Amino acid sequence: MSFQQGLSGLNAASRNLDVIGHNIANANTVGMKASRAEFSEVYAASINASGGINAGIGVAVATVSQEFTQGNITVTGNDLDVAINGNGFFELSMPDGSMAYSRAGMFKLDRDGNIVTNDGGQLMGYQTDNDGVRQGFESVPLTLPTGGPIPARQTEEITAEFNLDARAPIAAAVVPPTPFGTYSTSLNAFDPQGIEIPVGLVFEKIGNNQWNVYTSVNGADAAASVPFQINFLDDGTLDPATVIPQLQLASPNDPAQVFQVDLDFTEVTQFGADFAVTNLAQDGYRPGELTSLGISDAGVITARYSNGQSQAAGQIALVNFRNVQGLQPTGGGNWTMTFDSGEPVRGAPGEGKLGYLRAGALEDSNVDLTAELVNMMTAQRAYQASAQSIKTQDQILSTLFNMR
């Protein structure tokens, strides 16, 4: 007579209660994945034993598996809170140099501008250019330029989109002549140090489909400049044969420091409508401090600066595994790779089977409290039943001892 079956049942039920208790305790832990105890029956090994002869000797916990189902997504509004909607894990470089993987997107900035987790893991991602185009698939720690302003950029091109009124008379053919500056516009360009350079453009009609363009730099008189001519076709579009010369600018800080700027008049038109400027832009800017950031669904981090510029600062990397059940939980919402999980497969959010990101939100624990409480009652009954089987075995043994 053996107490083995009842004892194994007690151990298995106790282990199951531990797992259930762990789930319940982490019902509010961001990115937590519920676990479950999986049982297997145990039989004594016997040579040449035929089926139906060996009685089982109890139960064992075969494994504690994790349920990688999607948790609910809760909006927080914090810029650095990120939730994964779908498959994938964040890749983290831990302080000891090891790599970890997580679904908890509660990120913060450290004093050096690194994007880190609460336990110091650095978020890994891909380098991008200023427009957010990924530069390869080699992951590096993501860092934002918080230590100082981004440098100024010298203006290299001015783009203008406007309509010149085709109904306007030739300026010199009317009495009195059309006042100089009737059709004009202006903007600020920037020198290499980010100092503003006022630039003015004045248009004067000199013939059918022909206009002179006068330029003004740093408040100079536009009428004193040497004009260049732009011509239009019969349909009102710019004649492609028109030559637009470069504009020479001088730094207000050092007038001897001059540089050339391209003028893009490709979208300029001459229609029978009022003079109107629809776009006047240039590609330079002054220095700027980081003011805020945003993260797109594809994981591209966009930094916004006080000078009005927005630049991509990298793209968050996601990884996946052939066997996520093979990952080893290490605490703090992190997992590590094992032989069973296989090597991580890197990618970008939204590519292949990887999920998209939701900025300003977090993924809740996928623990179902109602189900866990029911499981706890079931495990408690299983524990009591196993204890009862031991008690019954003890009563039978006592009966044998008391036989006369």
Interval 332-376: pLDDT, tens: 889 999 999 999 999 999 998 999 999 999 999 999 999 999 999
From 227, 261, 282, give the residue that closes a domain: 282
Q: What is the pLDDT of residues 102-146, one digit of tens each?
A: 999 999 988 888 999 999 999 999 999 888 888 888 899 998 877
Distance CA 99, CA 93 (A): 5
The reply to whether 190 and 253 lie within a common domain is: yes
Q: What is the pLDDT of residues 167-207, one digit of tens each?
A: 999 998 888 889 999 999 999 999 999 999 999 999 999 99
From 244, 259, 282, give the residue that closes a domain: 282
The reply to whether 261 and 333 lie within a common domain is: no
The reply to whether 170 and 256 lie within a common domain is: yes
The reply to whether 56 and 15 lie within a common domain is: yes
Instruction: Decide: 185 and 291 in contact? Cβ < 8 Å.
Output: no
The reply to whether 196 and 259 lie within a common domain is: yes
Query: What's the first-to-final CA gap in the chain, in angstroms?
Result: 20
Q: What's the pTM?
A: 0.77
Instruction: Decide: 215 and 199 in contact? Cβ < 8 Å.
Output: yes
**How many structural domains does the chain have?**
3
The reply to whether 239 and 182 lie within a common domain is: yes
Determine whether 313 is exposed, middle or buried from the number of CB atoms within 10 Å of its CB (0-12, 13-18, 19+).
buried
The reply to whether 172 and 276 lie within a common domain is: yes
pLDDT band at 41 (very low <50, low <70, confident <90, very high): confident
Phi-psi region of 86 (alpha: psi -120 to 50; beta: other; left: phi over 0): left
The reply to whether 198 and 104 lie within a common domain is: no
The reply to whether 275 and 163 lie within a common domain is: yes
Cβ-Cβ contacts under 8 Å for 12 (sequence gap 6 or more): 37, 39, 58, 59, 60, 61, 382, 386
Helices (H), 204-349: none
Instruction: Decide: 295 and 316 in contact? Cβ < 8 Å.
Output: yes
Domain hosting 96: range is: 73-150+290-363
The reply to whether 13 and 103 lie within a common domain is: no
The pLDDT assigned to 52 comes to 57
Distance CA 37, CA 160 (A): 68
Residue type for position 5: Q
Distance CA 228, CA 243 (A): 9
- Of 309, 378, 389, 350, the closest CA to residue 85 belongs to 350
The reply to whether 42 and 84 lie within a common domain is: no
From 262, 282, 302, give the residue that closes a domain: 282
Structure tokens at 245: 């010369």
Q: Is the pLDDT of residue 1 over 60?
A: no
Partner residues linked to 237 by β-bridges: 269
The reply to whether 352 and 258 lie within a common domain is: no
